[in-house]
Amino acid sequence: MKSILELCSTWFDHDSPESLPVAHDDDSSPTRTEPSGPEDGETASLSALPSTVEPARILPALSPVSVTPNRKGRNVESGDMAAISQLIEMKALTSFRLLQCFDYSANLFFDENELTYYVTLHQDTALSRALKTIDLASAESVFLGFEQQVKRLAASVARCVQLEAENRRLARLVAQSEAEFERLRENLREESAQARSITARERQVRKDVTQLEVQRVATQAYLGRMRREIQRLTLISKQRLPRLSS
């Protein structure tokens, strides 16, 4: 009887893929390994055990939720989001992994009291999905999936941020261009006004010059007449003077 218990204990502790039915990739098929026969000295009842019977694997008690086996055959469960949120708020979990991109984040937490790993997905600081497992490798595998999802979601947000920044920059450039355009147009309007003023002033000056030239000619003609009249009157005045006797 002791030999049977020792052999069963050996089967329960053995964790190789060959001794337990596990999920495999598409390119591989499950295999079975026949348990070795009883050693010398063991009772005949041990040899009566069926060679093809495999003992069930003992797993820790889990809450009745849907189980999602990963590629390694270890169990990943949907977690109680309200309870996990409370644990996060109470800071009762140890953070193993964290990826923060904008308003999205993927987290890998470890509950030291329950020896359980929680993988969560957050949006705007609100918990949107939570899975749990007792196996670190499984938790890291799930975290990688959440990480890719966060990166995919953040890529669209990053593109929006870039486009918004480019649009703001273009808006500033447009505003600067419009201001420069208005300044240049105002300068051209002022230059045109000044040019019209100069042209009008030039026409007025030419007109004034013409008038002054006519006035000068008329004044010179009048001056010439006045001089001639003066000479005539002077001559007449001299002729009227009495002549002195010698």
Give me the DSSP letters along 154-183: HHHHHHHHHHHHHHHHHHHHHHHHHHHHHH
Mean pLDDT computed over 108-131:
91
pLDDT above 50 for 63: no
pLDDT above 50 for 10: no
Q: How far apart are CA 214 and CA 134, in angstroms?
A: 117
Are residues 31 and 83 located together in one domain of the fold? no
Are residues 32 and 81 located together in one domain of the fold? no
pLDDT above 50 for 5: no
Residue 212: count other Cβ atoms within 10 Å of its Cβ: 11
Report the range out of 23-27, 121-125, 126-130, 180-184 with the highest average pLDDT. Answer: 180-184
pLDDT band at 217; cut points 50, 70, 90 = very high
Residue 115: closest CA among 93, 99, 97: 93
pLDDT band at 244; cut points 50, 70, 90 = low
Mean pLDDT computed over 65-90:
71
Owner of token pair 């005045």: 237
Mean pLDDT computed over 126-140:
92
pLDDT above 70 for 70: no
| Number of compact structural domains in the chain | 2
Mean pLDDT computed over 219-235:
92
Asked if 131 and 75 touch (Cβ cutoff 8 Å), the reply is: no
Are residues 54 and 71 located together in one domain of the fold? no
Are residues 124 and 102 located together in one domain of the fold? yes
- Owning domain of residue 124: 66-217
Mean pLDDT computed over 179-207:
93
Model's pTM, two decimal places? Answer: 0.46
